[in-house]
A and B are shown apart, each in its own frame.
Chain A
Amino acid sequence: MRAFANAKGLLGKYYRGMADGKRPVAWCSAMGPVEVLRALGFEVYFPENHAAMLGARRAQEPLIAAAVRHGYGPDACTYLLSDIGASLEGRSGLDRFGLEVLPPPAVLACNTNQCREVLEWFAFHARRTGAPLVSIRTPRPLEGGGPSLDGYLMDQWRAAIRALEGAAGRALDAGRLRETVAFAAEASRDWEAFLRLNEGGGFRHDFGDDLVLMAPLVVLRGTPEAAAFYRDLLTEVRALPDRPLRRRIFWEGMPVWGKLRFFQEYFPKWDAGVVASTYCLSWVFDLDPAEPLESLARAYSSLFICRDEAWKEAWLERQVCAFNAGLLLFHEARTCHTNTNTRFRMPERMEERTGVPALVLHGDMVDLRHFSEAETRQRLEAFWETRG
């Protein structure tokens, strides 16, 4: 796919753009107020993206050790541990992109919609760098909306915007916010359309492809470059033929960043493929440039990760059905407590609800000591040999 080269070029430009130090850099959580930061003129850097890069490069182990030495618990989120460890050791996982030293933050902004860990993680960087920390405190798990929740969230967003305006030294321009939200909405819409090309019997891209191709949506959300990238991606992949696939998998949970190649090589041997995932579909946001702030507050509190079990199960049922999955594969990530959905009997309930078998793999998003290729193969092959 041409899109892989486009993504690489785009990311290289993004990271190099931060290295030149011309514009102040805001550090933002993945599901944080990135559109607001961009509209305020910040370059935006994402520690979670950095942690995933460290995991993909398998550079995590000494960094996790450094964070644990510093006093963090070994069972804490390994995204947090590896990124904090890199900071303590003065290491950058982005040196290949020209960022030998991570850009110092002018401000840190996070949203607790994902987990409590992002707050503790950003608090570490705030203490270490002296930069102000602005947080939006989204409660979890959410059953649904309602006027009191909407009011609370709007208050949180408005307070965060005031603090970020202070850090930027300028007022938020309503027109620029609308424009940024419009670019984010467009990219998100095309990303979803791309993912849904695999619905029914379709198979044009797999989880490994998706994890690479979603990078611009993570780090360049709200830019015209990201919107153009997804427009082109959709056009390119729409023109591709479907590949035949016997065993269709829906992946629930975090990726195992250091084992992407293992899965990409292993699944085809069994004529299997991950046709869709909660993780990639979580980067679909219902944003409306006509009411940018309200839709940001709504979209970032409607994520899969911040909803309750009943909502998640109904959503998963719709996806398993839409993507015609024959297996719902749960990844029990040892250190990702919030985005692991195996610990309260969801796999069993999903099997009962959908009739589609569920299987649990044990691992971690970053720490490969919690993952075994042999054990993973054994579980999958036992399933396929006995249930087809």
Chain B
Amino acid sequence: MRAGLDLGSSYIKWVAGPAPERVTVRRAAASVLDYREALKRLDARPGPGGCVLTGYGREVFPGTARTEVACLARAWAGAGYGDGSLVDIGGQDIKVLRFQGGKLKHHKFNRRCAAGTGSFIESLCHRLRISARRFNALAGEADGARPLNSFCTVFAATEILERVQRGEPLPALARGAYASVAARVREVGVLEPPVRLCGGFAAHHPVFRRVFAEGGGGEAETVPHPKYFAAWGAFLLAWDGAAGV
């Protein structure tokens, strides 16, 4: 067995299997404060051999650490994709990677601000006291998006609450929040088609993909198991052996 472990700011993702083409385990747990506790819940045992670590917390445990960009690039190649762009919306950042012939050509991150990241919508859900699933369902019900004026995560939640109090429909505002995320993604970097989405945000907010296309981002497809894409890249790197495991 070899494994890839993505220690993200919101979730830990664990991918393992007995061969590079055979993934038998895909598990995730909220990372919150204690990575070790989360690992126990996943029954994951990263060791110095056979596991590649990635994500925000990749240096917490001993072992071979690779950045998410390297793992995403490996996953892109592993999926057999050629030209195109990958958008990874994580808990605290947005990454845009551009590929030619399956090779990474360019990558860019968002600026140092949570607006437009997974935490933006997470924070809105928290303030609105609804789950991510419910937020996604509401956005899916709306005929159109009502844009939000606030850029800041905190003020955006306040704005939604105020506008709901004034009688505006929450579904259209939820869709407007997705439109804000889409606008932030388009700011990060040029997207060469085909565009593919990955990351926890793409997994938990499938309606976002439609809003992204409506807002001028172009048609996008979500990669299989989007939440685990970076962890899968780490898993493939573990099998490559090139990472020194």
Contacts and interface: CB of A to CB of B under 8 A. Distances in A.
Contacts of A374: 56
Interface string A344-388: 000000000000000000100000001010110011011001100
A43 to B, nearest CB: 41
Interface stretch (B26-34, B62-70, B138-146, B202-210): B62-70
Interface string B53-73: 000100000000011111001
A386 B69 contact: yes
B186 interface: no
Nearest to A374: B56
A372 B112 contact: yes
A256 to B, nearest CB: 13
Contacts of A382: 67-70, 107, 109
Nearest to B92: A375
A379 B66 contact: no
A332 to B, nearest CB: 8
Interface in B93-111: 93, 104, 107, 109, 111
B14 to A, nearest CB: 20
Majority SS at the chain A contact face? helix
Contacts of B56: 374, 378
Interface size class of A (residues with CB under 8 A): 10 to 19
Contacts of A385: 66-67, 69-70
Nearest to B56: A374
B112 A386 contact: no
Contacts of B68: 378, 382
A361 to B, nearest CB: 9
Given A386-B73, A386-B104, A386-B107, A378 B112 contact: no
A374 B68 CA distance: 13
A374 B67 CA distance: 11
A212 B112 CA distance: 29
B70 A379 contact: no
Nearest to A351: B106
B240 to A, nearest CB: 13
- Best-surrounded residue of A370, A381, A386 (most CB of chain B within 10 A): A386
A377 to B, nearest CB: 8
A375 B92 CA distance: 10
- Best-surrounded residue of A362, A372, A374, A385 (most CB of chain B within 10 A): A385
A366 B228 CA distance: 38
Nearest to A376: B112
Nearest to A379: B109
Contacts of A378: 56, 67-68, 93, 109
A385 to B, nearest CB: 4
A379 B107 CA distance: 10
B48 to A, nearest CB: 18
A272 B137 CA distance: 48
Interface in B42-93: 56, 66-70, 73, 93
Interface string B207-238: 00000000000000000000000000000000
Contacts of A386: 67, 69-70, 73, 104, 107
B112 A375 contact: yes
A362 B69 contact: no
A362 B73 CA distance: 24
A309 B112 CA distance: 25
A379 B111 CA distance: 11
Interface in B156-208: none
A370 B73 CA distance: 29
Contacts of A381: 67
B230 to A, nearest CB: 12
A370 B112 CA distance: 8
Contacts of B67: 378, 381-382, 385-386
A372 B109 CA distance: 14
Interface string A255-286: 00000000000000000000000000000000
Given A374-B56, A382-B107, A386-B104, A362 B112 contact: yes
Interface in A31-50: none
A382 B107 CA distance: 9
A52 B62 CA distance: 37
A381 B107 CA distance: 12
A374 B69 CA distance: 14
A53 to B, nearest CB: 25
B93 to A, nearest CB: 8
A24 B228 CA distance: 67
A74 to B, nearest CB: 14
A355 to B, nearest CB: 14
Contacts of A362: 111-112
A381 B71 CA distance: 12
A325 B68 CA distance: 25
10 contacts: A372-B112, A375-B93, A375-B112, A379-B109, A381-B67, A382-B107, A382-B109, A385-B69, A385-B70, A386-B69
Given A378-B67, A382-B67, A386-B73, 9 more contacts: A372-B112, A374-B56, A375-B112, A378-B93, A378-B109, A385-B66, A385-B67, A385-B70, A386-B70
Interface of B: 56, 66-70, 73, 93, 104, 107, 109, 111-112
Complex A-B, nearest 10 residue pairs according to Cβ-Cβ distance, in ascending order: A382-B69, A385-B70, A362-B112, A382-B67, A381-B67, A386-B104, A385-B67, A386-B69, A386-B70, A386-B73
